[in-house]
Amino acid sequence: MTQLRRVVLATHNQGKVRELAEPLKALGVEVLGLGEFPEVGDIIEDGTTFADNACIKAAAVARITGLTSIADDSGLEVDALNGRPGVYSARYSDDMPLLEGETRDACNIRKLIAEMAGVPDSGRTARFVCTMAAVRPGLYAREQALIVSGAWEGRILAECRGTNGFGYDPVFLDEELGISAAEMTREQKMGRSHRGCAVRALVRAWPAWLAG
Ligand code: ITT
């Protein structure tokens, strides 16, 4: 059991780290970031589903560190784009050169706004989805992982609103609150988001999974 007290959060995305650090405290374990494991390089995410990629990331980090690992694979599904960018959300604009000083997140948003130009309000529906997987060292079969998911319905804005969060947050409108994900506090976003929903499911299922 000793090794289960330290858990590695398998992500290089600092936006995810900021959102997950606090809720994962409820697991009663010490959550470590990948910064403490420089030997973990880039992991090739070649799965075709969020669950595949979450398991690939968590298993790779569990193998290298010898510790239980939790990974998140997430993305944005836009109905007018037949579900794109989906599992390719982080790499959506890899076919476009960055403008001077532009981040990859900003370039992704620029491409999305351009692709959605002219789509009427009624056709701008979208959802963020998140699958989280926890994997213990040595137990790499898919059915031995703990896998949970969450989704968040919204609408794609024609221009950016707000500066909080990361990724596509400035163009994702929560219709109930009438504000974008980037106009929310971290607590507000976690209360409604795909990642908040998934992490709460993970925390609920964790004790039985560890005991199993
Ligand atoms: P890791 O694989 O290291 O975790 P990543 O950013 O590559 O980091 P993913 O492959 O899961 O992670 O890609 C998720 C992308 O989906 C992310 O880069 C954002 O572009 C988008 N995304 C996911 N959750 C989001 C959120 O809460 N707000 C805004 N964009 C989000």
pLDDT digits (tens, 9 = 90+) for 32-63: 999 999 999 999 999 999 999 999 999 999 99
One-letter identity of residue 106: A
How many residues appear in the chain?
212
> pLDDT at position 3, please?
45
Q: Is 195 touching ligand 1 by the criterion CB < 6 Å?
A: yes
Is residue 112 scored above 50 in pLDDT? yes
The rounded distance, in Å, linking the Cα atoms of 193 and 26 is: 18
CA of 210 to the centre of ligand 1 (A): 27
- Among the residue ranges 30-39, 66-75, 78-87, 172-181, the one predicted with the least confidence is 30-39
> pLDDT at position 34, please?
94
Apex 18 CA angle, 95 and 129, nearest 5: 55
| Position with higher pLDDT, 171 vs 1 | 171
Q: Are 151 and 127 in contact (CB under 8 A)?
A: yes
pLDDT tens for each residue of 123-150: 999 999 999 999 999 999 999 999 999 9
> pLDDT at position 57, please?
97
> pLDDT at position 5, please?
78
The rounded distance, in Å, linking the Cα atoms of 87 and 95 is: 16
Q: Is 31 touching ligand 1 by the criterion CB < 6 Å?
A: no
Count of helices and strands (H, E) across the chain: 5, 7
The rounded distance, in Å, linking the Cα atoms of 7 and 4 is: 7
CA of 90 to the centre of ligand 1 (A): 6
Over residues 180-184, the mean pLDDT reads: 98
Average pLDDT over all residues of the chain: 95
Pairing state between β 68-78 and 125-135: antiparallel
Apex 85 CA angle, 83 and 87, nearest 5: 95
